[in-house]
């Protein structure tokens, strides 16, 4: 979800200021700003501030908009004739699986893929002797300003054997590779400069992000309860963010060849830019999908984020693109998860209001 710069003052030997996350916050930190109003923000819990919209009279009454959205995933997938959805599948328990199912109700293990108590974090020095990790610090040409990391499988993987074209007759991958690196290389070959603005975030970093957005909402004059409700419409609570998987990236683009990058958050402006139109046409070629599309907000239970993309593998990405399914709708149907608890998005405001 959306990034909030959260640095602790760590600096590389080259003098580059970096976002450091190890031990940056405790699990209690998310609730700090809300505690005065009695708002509980425990990860995965239903909060008095309305993290679940089940108690919301605005949308969770039987047959209301939130209730319809909560069960809409199955309905949206019902008309899709797709082999990947034909037979019930067990949801993977290993978060390294590209199809691990996470949303605001289904958590990721807090210590995956690296514990907040670890002395090592990607981009913060070499791995300790004997340790292993598939998190890669991205080369400068593929990131925007701050050091960012992704899991190796999401950054660059061999194109799957037997897949030469997508359902809509586009070539799979670029140079025999799929993932974000191949995607960005292909985009540049067609005149679009895309970079990773925010990649992997451990639990504690997402905690900083959520707490920061909540403080921003409090500063706008909202009560703690209102601030928590509104921040929850566009920022995942720690342990529930796709960024923690290491296979998800918020992308940023250069406005014109040789020009500046667009550093704002206005979704309409981002979605209508040439690079992001290219993304919508081509991302599935690289095993990558848009997580939070405009037309699926009732199903994803987050506001529209045209910059937020996730690597799921070519087969799944091609199926999602062909059937016009968000990852939430596809995974819910694939794993027969059933209706998720309702969540009321009515407190959301336009992300253009956060533009800066």
Q: What is the CATH number of the domain that holds 38?
A: 3.30.1380.10
Q: What sign has the CA pseudo-torsion 182, 187, 191, 196?
A: negative
Handedness of CA 147, 152, 154, 156 (dihedral sign): positive
Residue 246 in tokens: 């290491």
Q: For residue 228, is it within any domain? A: yes
**How many residues in the chain?**
356
| 145 domain residue, yes or no | yes
| Residue 13 included in any domain | no
User: What is the full per-residue pLDDT of the chain (356 aa) written as tens digits?
Assistant: 543 433 333 333 233 323 333 333 334 444 444 443 344 443 333 333 333 333 333 333 333 444 445 566 777 787 787 888 988 899 999 999 999 999 999 999 999 999 988 889 999 989 988 889 999 999 999 999 999 999 999 999 999 999 999 999 999 999 999 999 999 999 999 999 999 999 999 999 999 999 999 999 999 999 999 999 999 999 999 999 999 999 999 999 999 988 999 999 999 999 999 999 999 999 999 999 999 999 999 999 999 999 999 999 999 999 999 999 999 999 999 999 999 999 999 999 766 565 43
Q: Is residue 65 helix, strand or coil?
A: helix
Q: At 157, which helix (H) or strand (E)?
A: strand 157-158
* Range of the structural domain that residue 196 is part of: 32-120+134-354
8 A C-beta contact, residue 21 and residue 208: yes
Residue 311 placed within a domain: yes
Distance CA 236, CA 246 (A): 15
Q: Is residue 11 part of a domain?
A: no
Residue 21, domain member (yes or no): no
129 in a structural domain? no
Give the chain's domain count: 1
| Domain contains 5 | no
């Amino acid at each position: 979800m959306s990034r909030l710069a959260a640095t602790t003052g760590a600096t590389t030997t080259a003098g580059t200021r970096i976002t450091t996350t190890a031990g940056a916050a405790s699990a209690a930190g998310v609730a700090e700003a809300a505690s005065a109003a009695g708002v509980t923000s425990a990860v995965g819990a239903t909060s008095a501030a309305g993290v679940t919209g089940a108690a919301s009279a605005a949308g969770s009454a039987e047959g209301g908009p939130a209730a319809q959205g909560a069960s809409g995933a199955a309905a949206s997938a019902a008309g899709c004739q797709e082999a990947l959805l034909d037979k019930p599948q067990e949801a993977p328990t290993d978060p390294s699986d590209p199809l691990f199912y996470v949303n605001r109700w289904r958590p990721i293990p807090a210590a995956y893929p690296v514990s907040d108590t670890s002395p090592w974090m990607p981009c913060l020095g070499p791995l300790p002797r004997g340790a292993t990790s598939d998190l890669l610090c991205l080369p400068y040409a593929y990131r925007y300003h701050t050091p960012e990391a992704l899991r190796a499988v999401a950054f660059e993987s061999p194109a799957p054997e037997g897949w030469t074209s997508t359902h809509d007759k586009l070539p799979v991958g670029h140079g025999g590779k799929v993932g974000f690196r191949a995607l960005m290389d292909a985009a540049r070959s067609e005149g679009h400069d895309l970079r990773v603005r925010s990649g992997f975030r451990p639990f504690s970093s997402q905690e900083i992000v959520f707490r920061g957005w909540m403080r921003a909402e409090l500063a706008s004059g909202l009560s703690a309860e209102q601030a928590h409700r509104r921040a929850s419409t566009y920022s995942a609570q720690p342990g529930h963010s796709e960024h923690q998987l290491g296979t998800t990236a918020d992308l940023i683009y250069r406005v014109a060849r040789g020009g500046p990058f667009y550093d704002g958050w206005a979704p309409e402006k981002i979605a209508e830019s040439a690079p992001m139109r290219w993304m919508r046409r081509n991302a599935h070629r690289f095993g990558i999908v848009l997580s939070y599309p405009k037309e699926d907000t009732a199903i994803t239970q987050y506001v529209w984020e045209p910059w937020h993309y996730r690597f799921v593998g070519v087969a799944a990405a091609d199926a999602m693109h062909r059937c016009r399914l968000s990852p939430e709708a596809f995974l819910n149907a694939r794993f027969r998860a059933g209706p998720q608890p309702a969540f009321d998005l009515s407190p959301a405001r336009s992300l253009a209001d956060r533009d800066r």
